[in-house]
Amino acid sequence: MKLTKSEIIKLLLSKDDEQAKLHASAALVRNENVGQKVYFRGLIEFSNFCENDCHYCGIRRSNANVERYSLEMDEILECIDFSARAGYGSVVLQSGQLQSKSFVDFVDKIVQKTKEKYPEMGITLSIGEQNRKTYKKLFDSGATRYLLRIETSNRDHYFKLHPEEMSFEKRKNCLLELKDIGYQVGTGVMIESPYQTVENLADDLVFFKENDLDMIGMGPFIPHSDTIFSGHATGRLETALNMISVLRLEMPDINIAASTALQAISPTGRELGLMAGANVIMPMVTPKKYRRGFLLYDGKPCQNESSKDCMRCIIARIKSAGLTPALGETGDSEYFKKRKRG
């Protein structure tokens, strides 16, 4: 579907019956283009050390209240073993951004060991901005997807959310490099973050489409108490769900995640995200003792559940949304497959 910016804005602002129609239309488009399966990404937050100082982030470099941690190799491999046993066809290796050789070599070793033991497992990396050589090295070792959130596609807005030393142009260029190397490329934005307008959100959706992105993860902005945005209003669930639905109408065959942040502001947030058109979910696999160290925002759910409990909960949520848990499947983006062929 090709919508004008004004049409996108109108849909993003829809409420009540119009909103229900929007979500139902998006779910139908999802079913027709990618089916009713929901794909799993076992989320392993393996380190909260970060060299960036993003104004909104709970693990920002200057936050002295965070207890820093890095999982040992054996701990990470145990998480990957659990993911395989649970039937998660893919894992996400997520950390704060570090660019040292030792960090890159460590991640590369994780990827290699994972592919040696589970050659069919999909591996998504979410480790921030790196250089092209690093992206290529990790891709050659077996990483197939990369998630790098732009957070906003508006340059002026970007600099209101990030310190001066960070570059909007570099972030965009990283996405282009990842795509050129051959990754399935994912990004996303915070919805109703400080200084953001509905026009910005409409532009974000246009940005996703114009840049041929394969997967999107976005959720409502939720403030963290140890940042300059402490006390700022939390993004509304309704706007976040409308963003998912309009994106599904605009990009029918990409992968869209029902983010954990949706559940942070509503007990059934992730189910509602699925019913609004999403088709990916990321159950927590991070060892429970480390989870409080990776609080990007306040009130993050699933802090006290075991990985087994989280698995059972997620499967139940998917079924309650009338969808099918796609256990044992990597769930590659249909859009990526078409883009690769063409």
Residues 194-229: tens digit of each pLDDT: 999 999 999 999 999 999 999 999 999 999 999 999
The tens digit of pLDDT for each residue in 72-85 reads 999 999 999 999 99
Residue spans of alpha helices (H) in the chain: 5-12, 16-33, 73-86, 101-117, 132-141, 155-161, 168-181, 198-210, 237-250, 260-265, 269-275, 307-320, 334-341
pTM, rounded to two decimals: 0.97
- Model confidence at 342: pLDDT above 80: no
Residues 60, 68: Cα–Cα separation, whole Å: 11
CA 52 to chain centre: 18
For residue 116, the model assigns a pLDDT of 98
Percent of the chain that is helix, strand, coil (3-state, to 5): 45, 15, 40
- ∠ CA 66-67-70, nearest 5°, is 120
Each as own residue / partner, the long-range contacts of residues 230-233 (CB below 8 Å, 24 or more positions apart, any chain) are 232/194, 233/192
Q: What is the pLDDT of residues 162-202, one digit of tens each?
A: 999 999 999 999 999 999 999 999 999 999 999 999 999 99
User: What amino acid occupies position 328?
Assistant: G
Residue spans of the domains in the chain: they are 5-337
Residue 175: CB partners within 8 Å, gap ≥ 6? 148, 150, 185, 187, 211, 213
Closest of 71, 44, 41, 45 to residue 58, by C-alpha: 45
Q: How far is CA 152 from CA 28, 86, 175, 203, in A?
A: 28, 34, 13, 9
As given in the structure block, the two tokens for residue 319 are 């079924």
Query: What are 40's strand-pairing partners?
Result: 281
Mean pLDDT, residues 53-68: 97
* Angle 57-259-293 from CA coordinates, rounded to 5°: 40
Statement: residue 340 has pLDDT above 90: no
Q: Which residues contact 127 (CB under 8 A, 6 or more apart)?
A: 93, 94, 95, 97, 98, 107
For 220-263, how does the pLDDT look when each residue is reduced to its tens digit (9 = 90+)? Answer: 999 999 999 999 999 999 999 999 999 999 999 999 999 999 99
Pick 5-337's CATH classification: 3.40.50.10330, 3.40.50.300, 3.20.20.70, 3.40.640.10.
3.20.20.70
